[in-house]
């Protein structure tokens, strides 16, 4: 249901304004308010460029060259994820670049997963995994120390990038390690996925009530649909 997908995407985007600008913690002074405003602008620029980049690539560059609204939505999320780490330390034009790169990285990862026979139906890993790593690294590349925004990017002579690489590796090791400890035993004992027969019939039909999201019945010659 693409309208619901779009609506959900905008719910997330709206929530991100509480997440990123809200992380300033307070707006007691004009400087604090300015910082929150900068974060809000960056939280707008990056998803715009992320979504438009993916939309353009799928419409004009990549087969089947169609207008892909689902890809547009995930591109928006890719931009949001990509800018979050550095959102308070960069200028809006840097946020736009970060968002566009996040869109490209998302698209590349989304194309690679099927080739690796990895089933990720909502592209969660391309959006949050790949673009999350890009977000960490972007915080070490962008952000001019002379602007006094807290940035220390290597593109401006700063030395933050090695720290960001180390941080990304630690996060990957922590989350990956715990995921293996939890999920590998479940896979071994057969609890990680549903059986083929179960999936063929559908989880809704097999274990949910009602078995369908929409129940259709006829009354006095009229068809009624109830959610």
* In the chain, beta strands by DSSP E: 215-219, 222-226
Q: pLDDT at position 226, please?
A: 57
Share of the chain above pLDDT 70, in %: 93
Total-model pTM = 0.88
Residue 140 and residue 130: Cα distance in Å, rounded?
Answer: 16
Distance of CA 119 to CAs 54, 179, 185, 205, Å? 20, 17, 19, 21
Helix axes 30-56, 69-84, angle to 10 degrees: 140
Share of the chain above pLDDT 90, in %: 76
Q: pLDDT at position 211, please?
A: 77
* Torsion sign over Cα 89, 92, 93, 98: positive
Which residues have a Cβ under 8 Å from the Cβ of 116 and sit 6 or more positions away? none
Which residues have a Cβ under 8 Å from the Cβ of 214 and sit 6 or more positions away? 225, 226, 227
Least confident of 119-123, 127-131, 166-170, 171-175: 119-123
Q: Name the residue among 13, 29, 33, 155 with its Cα closest to residue 86.
A: 155
Q: pLDDT at position 25, please?
A: 83
Position 53 confidence tier, pLDDT thresholds 50, 70, 90: very high
């Amino acid at each position: 249901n693409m309208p619901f997908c779009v609506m959900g995407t905008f719910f997330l985007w709206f929530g991100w304004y509480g997440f990123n600008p809200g992380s300033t913690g307070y707006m007691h002074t004009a400087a604090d308010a300015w910082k929150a405003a900068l974060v809000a602008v960056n939280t707008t620029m990056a998803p715009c460029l992320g979504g438009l980049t993916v939309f353009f690539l799928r419409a004009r560059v990549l087969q089947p060259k169609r207008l892909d609204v689902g890809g547009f939505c995930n591109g928006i999320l890719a931009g949001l994820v990509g800018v979050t780490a550095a959102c308070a330390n960069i200028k809006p034009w840097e946020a736009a670049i970060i968002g566009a790169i996040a869109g490209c990285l998302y698209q590349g990862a989304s194309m690679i997963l099927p080739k690796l026979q990895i089933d990720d139906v909502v592209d969660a890993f391309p959006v949050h995994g790949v673009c999350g790593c890009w977000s960490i690294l972007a915080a070490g590349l962008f952000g001019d120390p002379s602007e006094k925004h807290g940035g220390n990017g290597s593109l401006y002579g700063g030395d933050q990038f090695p720290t960001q690489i180390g941080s990304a590796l630690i996060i990957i090791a922590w989350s990956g390690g715990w995921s293996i400890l939890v999920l590998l035993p479940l896979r071994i004992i057969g609890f990680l996925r549903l059986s083929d027969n179960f999936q063929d019939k559908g989880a809704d039909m097999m274990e949910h009530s009602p078995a369908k999201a929409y129940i259709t019945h006829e009354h006095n010659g009229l068809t009624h649909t109830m959610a």
